[in-house]
Amino acid sequence: MSAAPSLPDDAEANIGAPVPPLSARGRAQQRLTGPMLTDLTLARGEVDRSSYLRANDTWLAEAWADPATRVVVAEHGRAVCEISDERAALLFVAPAEAPEGVRFLLGVDEGGTAYFGVAGPLLDPRPDSGLRAAHLREAGPLLSDLDAGLMTHAVALANWHETFTHCPRCGTATEPFASGHARRCPADSSEHFPRVDPAMIVLVTDSDDRALLARNAMWPERRVSVLAGFVEAGESAEQAVAREVQEETGITVDAVTYLGSQPWPMPQSLMLGFRAAATNTEIMVDAEEIAEAHWYSRDGLRAAIASGELRLPPPVSIAHRLIQSWYGSELPGSW
Ligand SMILES: [Zn+2]
């Protein structure tokens, strides 16, 4: 038996179905978003992931031998970019220029160009080249749709290969397969897949349509955001929303509504965005994780930002977009 992740019945029924054509799937599929939050910064992408090519060794060898193939090198959440305050562009290298490291197929664009990632040491650009290593958090908002999708995918896989190097059953060093999208133990043949930790993040409003914003005890003074937390084992995302909000602020919620998701490979999360309605308003912070939490009207939030009392999370985050979806327009202030 394969140790592939289990799939719902309706998904399993599609295994073995004819493979759609290479082109034209990527953009439409990877622009899929939730019912309200569209074009989230790290949920963009323009290449078809071409997962059906990951086991095609002949195609993979030919693509790697093609000097037109583009390679992104990622290490510790970073990649080399040409970057300014306004925009960034990934540095792609030809396969022959790529460093040693775990190699993974990122996909193929509509023109047929193949994109690979390598988890390896970043190239060290000359100081006057305009190039430098940038973290996904910094570069993500400045990259094109194409580059943002490729960097997010490459950083997520590189983070996994950097960390999950040994078999959790027997401790033997595992080896990549499926073009770097899985690892296998040579001692017991167990298969291991990239770890993604689901986390929920929620904008809670009360009956006066005020938003609940909190400051985590580890954050700098003045920074506030919506509530977030990891989904626990054996728990649904909606259950996690209700539990975290209650634990952190004493507020109970209902009408938990999913709004969209964004990969957050820092190092390995998937952020699931929600709104929820509070059924009480008296806040009791847990005093451990949350330093303070308050209800804000739109006017109150605007005034608190204008006075310098508050700072909101940056636009790269789904938190920013959740607050914006409630606020109704571009958020004031700087990040
Ligand atoms: Zn093993």
Residue 32 in this model has a pLDDT that exceeds 90? no
Instruction: Note whether 215 and 177 are within 8 A (CB).
Output: no
Residue 13 in this model has a pLDDT that exceeds 50? no
Instruction: Note whether 14 and 303 are within 8 A (CB).
Output: no
pLDDT in the model for residue 36 = 79
Q: What is the pLDDT of residues 120-144, one digit of tens each?
A: 999 988 888 889 999 999 999 999 9
pLDDT in the model for residue 334 = 80
Using the CB atoms, write b or e for 131-156: b if 16+ within 10 Å: bbbbebbbbbbbbeebbbbbbbbbbb
Eight-class DSSP state of 184: E
Q: How far, in Å, from the CA of 101 to the mean position of ligand 1? A: 21
Q: How far, in Å, from the CA of 5 to the mean position of ligand 1? A: 17
Q: How far, in Å, from the CA of 176 to the mean position of ligand 1? A: 13
Q: How far, in Å, from the CA of 173 to the mean position of ligand 1? A: 8
Instruction: Note whether 200 and 231 are within 8 A (CB).
Output: yes
The pTM of this model reads: 0.88
Q: What is the pLDDT of residues 137-184, one digit of tens each?
A: 999 999 999 999 999 999 999 999 999 999 999 999 999 999 999 999
CA distance 259 to 37: 6
Strands (E), the chain: 70-75, 78-83, 88-90, 102-108, 114-119, 131-135, 175-177, 182-184, 191-192, 197-205, 211-216, 227-230, 253-264, 269-278, 290-296
Cβ atoms within 10 Å, residue 105: 26
Q: How far, in Å, from the CA of 196 to the mean position of ligand 1? A: 21
- The tokens describing 187, both together, are 């001692």
Which of the four pLDDT bands, split at 50, 70 and 90, describes residue 2?
A: very low
pLDDT in the model for residue 330 = 92
Residue 256 in this model has a pLDDT that exceeds 50? yes
pLDDT in the model for residue 288 = 86
Q: How far, in Å, from the CA of 184 to the mean position of ligand 1? A: 8
CB-neighbour burial class of residue 72 (10 A; exposed 0-12, middle 13-18, buried 19+): buried
The helix (run of H) or strand (run of E) holding residue 322 is: helix 318-327
Instruction: Using only the alpha carbons of the chain, give its radius of gyration.
Output: 22
Q: How far, in Å, from the CA of 191 to the mean position of ligand 1? A: 9
Q: How far, in Å, from the CA of 2 to the mean position of ligand 1? A: 14
CA distance 227 to 284: 14
Q: Which residue has the tokens 């909190």?
A: 214
Q: How far, in Å, from the CA of 57 to the mean position of ligand 1? A: 24
Q: How far, in Å, from the CA of 8 to the mean position of ligand 1? A: 27
Q: How far, in Å, from the CA of 171 to the mean position of ligand 1? A: 6
CA distance 24 to 19: 13
Cis peptide before 267 (omega within 30 of 0): yes
- The tokens describing 308, both together, are 């310098």
Cβ atoms within 10 Å, residue 74: 31
Q: How far, in Å, from the CA of 168 to the mean position of ligand 1? A: 7
pLDDT in the model for residue 17 = 42
Q: How far, in Å, from the CA of 165 to the mean position of ligand 1? A: 11
Q: How far, in Å, from the CA of 167 to the mean position of ligand 1? A: 5
- The tokens describing 135, both together, are 């973290």
Q: How far, in Å, from the CA of 187 to the mean position of ligand 1? A: 5
- Average pLDDT rounded to a whole number, residues 290-299: 96
- Average pLDDT rounded to a whole number, residues 249-258: 96
